[in-house]
Structure 1
Amino acid sequence: MWSKAVIASFNAIPQNACDSDYFGPYNKLLHTLFPPDSDFAVGPVFFRDSRQAPVTAVFEIYLVDKPVLILELRVPSYLDLPSTRQVVDEEIRSRMNGMVSACPLETLHAISALGTKLCFYSLNTRNRSAQIVPAAIPRHPTEMNDTAPADHWNYDILEPAGEERLRLIVKQIMDGCAALNV
């Protein structure tokens, strides 16, 4: 179970929050999972996004200088529209494709967080023809289709199943990194 400090941090988020209101709670949570006195670094990265939202907050977790986890953060309202879900889905896939060759582990993990709702992504780094899971849904050429269904964000970080899933991924990352003898 998350510490009282982590839960309090999430509970302090205002009703009509912006992306930056989630930054502190996720920063606290990630530093709980990847302590500052370890070989891991939790690095915040901010991007201006000309398509939909003015700022994208991303946390990149590194083992020394090699990426092992990506968490992209947006407000919960991104769940409401297929177009905004599509934007975040495409962004995280692009970020994973850009970082996969630098990841020292067999799997590069990524998380799209829309408020407290999470979609987990993974990519086998050893297989050049591997595809990101969940599989991308191509746009239909003549009909509207949902390329990033809302049910992909089916875990909540504040619920036991969401916490368990995140902790399992972190354990896989920690075990994989320990085997590297860095």
Structure 2
Amino acid sequence: MKIRIIGYAGSGKTSLTIKLQEKYLIQGISLDDFLKIKDKNQRFTLLNSRLSSLDAWIVEGVQVSSWTKQTFDEAQLIVILDYPIFITQYRVFKRTVSQVFDKSRSFEQKKKVIKRMFKLFKWNHRFRKRLPSIKTNLYNQTSRVMILESPKDEKRLHQYMKNQQRMKKHAENRKHRMRGTQ
């Protein structure tokens, strides 16, 4: 299965990807890892090369741009984490506080962490304004779109994943039985 997860900063994309990766043994890919590559053509090429080498994947990230287009085009399921903004902002704040009180970080690193928090707060507000048009565009994809509005909605996602596994296993068994009758 190929899954694309998108949502606010602090919505839990990485945590959800890790859970799905461990439970369903699907390779997770974080788009943030590709942001270190400044050349967008090289970023596009490396990401798409990585995707084409896998039969199944979970791609998570906030990025919606030309270099991530293939992740939406090929996904069989697009998961939008559309949690209330106060939850995501709180999570960004909480993450920042834990990093600021990390004794192994220098004062300069702590200042960068705090600056990043305010950037993420702003980013989340801009994303919130863009989200309706993003949803509209995603509904035009051939994939299934699932919107999770709270962490409790993850149950629906797991149920969907279990059903997909059952259907795949059933299809494989039928194919095996068909070969046996020939």
TM-score when normalising by structure 1: 0.38
Quick check: which has more Rg, 1 or 2?
2
Structure holding more strand per residue: 1
Structure holding more helix per residue: 2
Greater relative contact order: 1 or 2 (C-alpha under 8 angstroms, separation 6 or more)?
2
